[in-house]
Amino acid sequence: MNKKILGVMLSAALAASMCVPAFADDAAKKVGVSMPTKDLQRWNQDGANMEEQLKAAGFEVELQYASNEVDQQQKQIETMINNGASVLIIAAIEGSSLGTQLQMAKDNDIPVIAYDRLLMDSDAVSYYATFDNYMVGTVQGNYIVDALDLENAEGPFNLEVTAGDPGDNNARYFYQGAIDVLQPYIDAGKLVIPSGQLEFTDVATPTWGTDVAQKRAEDILSSFYADGTNIDVWLCSNDSTALGVENALAANYNGNYPVITGQDCDIENTKNMIAGKQSMSVFKDTRTLAAQVVKMVGQILNGEEVDVNDTETYNNNVITVPSYLCEPVFADVNNYEELLVESGYYTADQLA
Ligand code: BGC
């Protein structure tokens, strides 16, 4: 069979399987996809899935990564607009730093989808597609409640907290979801925090950097645990920060190994889960999110009603952005094979 026909058939089959409305216009429309960085594993997956699925649905794609540099992302978005993008999909480095570019998109009638992270302080955001960020936190919090049997055990257990980047609107949702679950046990004295650091601003990790999280964890371990005090649980908002904590523990701690949470099922962290160095992660299947966003793009460009399932939660300080929230899934050493390997997300070799 001729390659082009095969390609069209595959695109049609994929589009049908994802319920992407066939694109009405004959000319391929260009979609600009702006990702924050190639440094963290998840954005590479997001970018690759998005590119593959958009192309399969018949769109032209301009995909750019911004090295976690805000001005680079600003320039890349401006270029996408100048290159004639019909829709922009943006995962912001810093949610509130793209006002000028968003206004520029609006002036050019280009709809903008905030991808995974909400775009803040602008009315030029058409839709938001993400995972339920608060639920990510509650999954982590509930895991800790079960792992330490906080309902029944007397404790007290020593807890430390490492949260995400204050420039990322998601970070507070993850944090709050987990803290809302844990707060009653903190109030009851079952969980105590030897460092005394619990406020979001005290536990945040600018840039989500592994090195940043590691440095803070090293400081905490040397100041509060060097005398042999055990740490029972370290709530980490995601995998890049969990990795920093795990590195710090490996080099600076000899006590009982704590319960550690994470998010994303990054390869390094999944390996650590298998090796018993991380207790759980939250799996956000980036294929699901990409499929949802591709569907949105098709609906927007076809002038159809756009699927959303939340019109109340995500206010960006100017408007409440209609959102589609995908469901995050709990992952640990017992279900990772089914979730990550059998589903084709990773090969067994990648985790070996
Ligand atoms: C994403 C997380 C990710 C973090 C760091 C957040 O916005 O939702 O999945 O771990 O950024 O990249």
pLDDT tens digit sequence for 112-158: 999 999 999 999 999 999 999 999 999 999 999 999 999 999 999 99
Q: Which atom of ligand 1 is nearest to the CA of 174?
A: 8
Q: How far, in Å, is the centroid of ligand 1 from the Cα of 131?
A: 10
237 and 305 housed in the same domain: no
Q: How far is the CA of 15 from the centre of ligand 1 (A)?
A: 27
Q: Are 141 and 261 in the same domain? A: yes
pLDDT at 212 over 60: yes
pLDDT digits (tens, 9 = 90+) for 159-175: 999 999 999 999 999 99
Best residue for ligand 1 mutational test, from 139, 168, 207 (most atoms within 8 Å of Cβ) = 168
The full length of the chain comes to 352
Please indicate, yes or no, whether residues 277 and 295 belong to a single structural domain of this protein.
Answer: no
Same domain, 92 and 215: no
Which of 65, 238, 266 has most ligand 1 atoms within 8 Å of its beta carbon, as the pocket-test mutant? 238
pLDDT of residue 13 exceeding 80, the answer is: no
pLDDT above 50 for 90: yes
Which residues' Cβ are closer than 6 Å to ligand 1? 40, 42, 116-117, 168, 170, 208, 238, 240, 263-264, 284
Percent of the residues in the chain that have a pLDDT greater than 70, as a whole number: 92
- Tell whether 257 and 197 lie within a shared domain: yes
Encode pLDDT of 128-138 as tens digits. Answer: 999 999 999 99
Residues 266, 308, single domain; the answer is: no
Domain final residue, candidates 219, 251, 283? 283
* Res 76 pLDDT > 50: yes
Q: How far is the CA of 188 from the centre of ligand 1 (A)?
A: 31
Looking at every residue in the chain, the average pLDDT score rounds to 93
Do 14 and 83 share a domain, yes or no? yes
- For residue 31, pLDDT beyond 70: yes
Total structural domains within the chain: 2
> How far apart are the CA of 265 and the centre of ligand 1, in A?
11
Which residues contact residue 170 at a Cβ distance below 8 angstroms, ignoring those fewer than 6 apart?
Answer: 116, 117, 118, 130, 133, 164
The residue nearest atom 6 of ligand 1, judged by CA position, is: 170
> Does 98 share its domain with 217?
no
Average pLDDT over residues 67-75: 97
Q: Say what the pLDDT of residue 165 is.
A: 97
Q: Are residues 166 and 229 in the same domain?
A: yes
Distance (Å, whole) CA 7 – CA 298: 18
Place 41 in a pLDDT band, splitting at 50, 70 and 90: confident
pLDDT at 253: 97
pLDDT (0 to 100) of residue 9: 37
pLDDT for the residue numbered 25: 53
Higher-scoring residue by pLDDT: 344, 15: 344
For the full predicted model, state whether its pTM sits above 0.85: yes
pLDDT attached to residue 6: 37
Residue 278 lies in a domain: yes
Q: Which domain holds residue 15?
A: 3-125+285-327
Structure tokens at 344: 């084709």
Determine, yes or no, domain membership for 339.
Answer: no
* Residue 58 to residue 99: CA distance in whole angstroms: 30
Q: Is pLDDT of 21 > 70?
A: no
Answer yes or no: is 303 within a domain: yes
Residue at 242 is within a domain = yes
| 104 and 154 both lie in a single domain | no
**For 268-325, what is each residue's pLDDT tens digit?**
999 999 999 999 999 999 999 999 999 999 999 999 999 999 999 999 999 999 999 9
Is 349 part of any domain? no
For 195-209, how does the pLDDT look when each residue is reduced to its tens digit (9 = 90+)? 999 999 999 999 999
When pLDDT is averaged across residues 184-189 and rounded to a whole number, the result is: 98
Q: Is residue 13 part of a domain?
A: yes
Separation between Cα atoms, residue 146 and residue 154, nearest integer Å: 13
Atom index in ligand 1 nearest the CA of residue 131 equals 8
d(CA 253, CA 241): 17
pLDDT at 329: 95
Q: How confident is the model at residue 234 (pLDDT cuts 50, 70, 90)?
A: very high
Ligand 1 atom with least separation from CA of 238: 10
